[in-house]
Amino acid sequence: MRTPAQSTAIAHVAAAATDLSAACQTIFAYGETAWREYESAAWYVARLRAEGFAVEESSAGMPTAFCAEWSNGDGPVIGMYAEYDAVPGNCQAPVTNRAPRDGLGFQAGGHTDPHSGLGIAGLGGLLATKAAMEKHGIKGGLRFTGEPAEKVRGSKPIHAAAGYYDDLAAILSFHPFYMLPMCNTVRWDTHCGAAYAMIYRFICDQPQNWGRADGAPIPQSHSAARAPGANDALNMMYMSSKALRDAMLPHQGGWSISEAILTAGQATADNLPAGLAEIQYMMRTPDIAMAEQITAVLDRNAQAAADMTGCRWERHWVCKSRPGLANHAMAALVWEAMQDIGAPTWGEDAKAIARDIQVNLGLDPMADPFIPEMSKLIHPQKAEAILRHDLPPSQTNSTSDDYTDMTWHAPTARFYVARPALRASDGVTYPPWVMNALGGIPATIDPMVQTAAQILACSALRLLEDDAAREAAMTEFVTRASENPIPPLCDYAPPIHFRWPEYVTTARGRDWWIPSEMDGA
């Protein structure tokens, strides 16, 4: 049964609809990418301070992270969070045709999940919980962390190791739905798995020593053998690792390895080897042992590539994230809130926008253009059964997201609310810009933000008001965490000094690091 405090929170979210919509557009328009979310983080910090929160900026040494605290007296503290990083190469305006945001090209950052809506839903739920606590005299506190670089699993392993999730009574983790059956439901047993990411750096700073059996200096001749250099090392690393990918792990389990060649920006003459080259690898694995196996192979490949090209190599961690820990008490509590609030719905204005997109793609507009699952709840155990259908019984985790590091520090629920997505007729595949645009257009994204904010607030208030429910979640957490404990894996500094894509200010004004004029129509 809904409590008076929960009713207050629901009303607060509804009353803040216009404000939350405008805030969502602000973060969407920033479109800042991993480790470079300066404007987005500053916006959250200013807003939270204006709402009465004490805010630590640059938490755990991350310039675009923060930790906000508010207390209404002694009592349990509930954790929520915002993500706000976008993805390079996905710049999209909130319009019904493919178009970059003003003044930018398609290679700039854009929100894909969308984290703009994720973060503002978190803020909406946070402020609604605070308002209800104040009105109804509910004791306790709220902790709201700003989590940059989620797309590279960046901040949460670092925050976890630094203690930012310690001493919380519970954590609520929301994400826009991104794959069926995880739409309008809560994860039950199969939480996300481990994730490792690292940058291999090849440095050719002693090219004179390559290829000389006697150790003599290299002759000053363009016809003499010269060290291949860092670019060749990177290419050998790339090709050897790709060739060995199929041998690294079995052909099952939903694991993946992807790579990205980073731009180092070095300039060389035609007769000098490239001095620096970098490649990033990121893997999603069900468990840590598999990630360690892959890392061992990559290390060996890096050594071989360096030996053949006159380079030395370094490995720099971007993330080491643990697999998630289930908590049925938390999942059931959030599921009750989801049943009370219901799934989001989309009105005729949103459907008209969706039809306009279909027409612009040369498709016949549909009377009901959204996939039907968006406005339906699915029971967590039913979703779990569907999710497990293609997984081996021994696999306990699947895919990845760094919320999993939170699950080892406090009872955590991971739930999903539908984001707008179009149904497709046979043979139709929508281009990525469609989902990106729908995540930025108010009529299509606001229903998700409103629904998720209400679920967050109602779940948080249930935890604050219901001692038995909170204690059951904590008891289960302690039991599960003690069975096979995994301490924080983060033993590295925040990887903030690499050449991450970002916006720059030049004499031309604000630009993206890949110049906008390079983009096609």
* All residues at 6 or more sequence positions from 469 whose CB lies less than 8 Å from its CB, including other chains: 329, 333, 462, 463
User: pTM for this structure?
Assistant: 0.93
Per-residue pLDDT reduced to its tens digit, 141-177: 999 999 999 999 999 999 999 999 999 999 999 999 9
Question: Which residue, chain included where needed, has tokens 């990411």?
Answer: 197
Where is average pLDDT lowest: 246-250, 274-278, 289-293, 358-362? 246-250
Whole-angstrom CA distances from 449 to 24, 345, 348, 452, 473 are 9, 11, 18, 5, 26
Is the model's pLDDT at 221 over the cut of 60? no
**Cβ atoms 46, 110 nearer than 8 A:** no
The 3-state DSSP class for residue 502 equals coil
Q: What distance lies between CA 168 and its chain's CA centroid?
A: 22
170-176, strands of its sheet edge to edge: 54-57, 66-71, 141-147, 77-83, 170-176, 412-417, 185-186
What pLDDT is attached to residue 207?
Answer: 79
What structural domains and CATH numbers belong to the chain? 4-190+326-359+410-483 (3.40.630.10), 195-322 (3.30.70.360)
* All residues at 6 or more sequence positions from 115 whose CB lies less than 8 Å from its CB, including other chains: 27, 83, 84, 85, 86, 150
Average pLDDT, the chain: 92
Quick count: other Cβ atoms within 10 Å of Cβ 428?
Answer: 12
Quick count: other Cβ atoms within 10 Å of Cβ 231?
Answer: 21
Per-residue pLDDT reduced to its tens digit, 99-112: 999 989 999 999 99
Report the alpha-carbon distance of residue 191 to residue 181 in Å, rounded: 13
Per-residue pLDDT reduced to its tens digit, 498-512: 989 899 887 877 788
DSSP-assigned letters across all residues of 83-147 = E--BBTT----SSSS--PPTT--TTS-B-SS-HHHHHHHHHHHHHHHHHHHHHHT---EEEEEEE
Report the alpha-carbon distance of residue 365 to residue 225 in Å, rounded: 64
Report the alpha-carbon distance of residue 139 to residue 134 in Å, rounded: 9
Where is average pLDDT lowest: 42-56, 63-77, 174-188, 325-339? 174-188
At 462, list the tokens: 């249930």
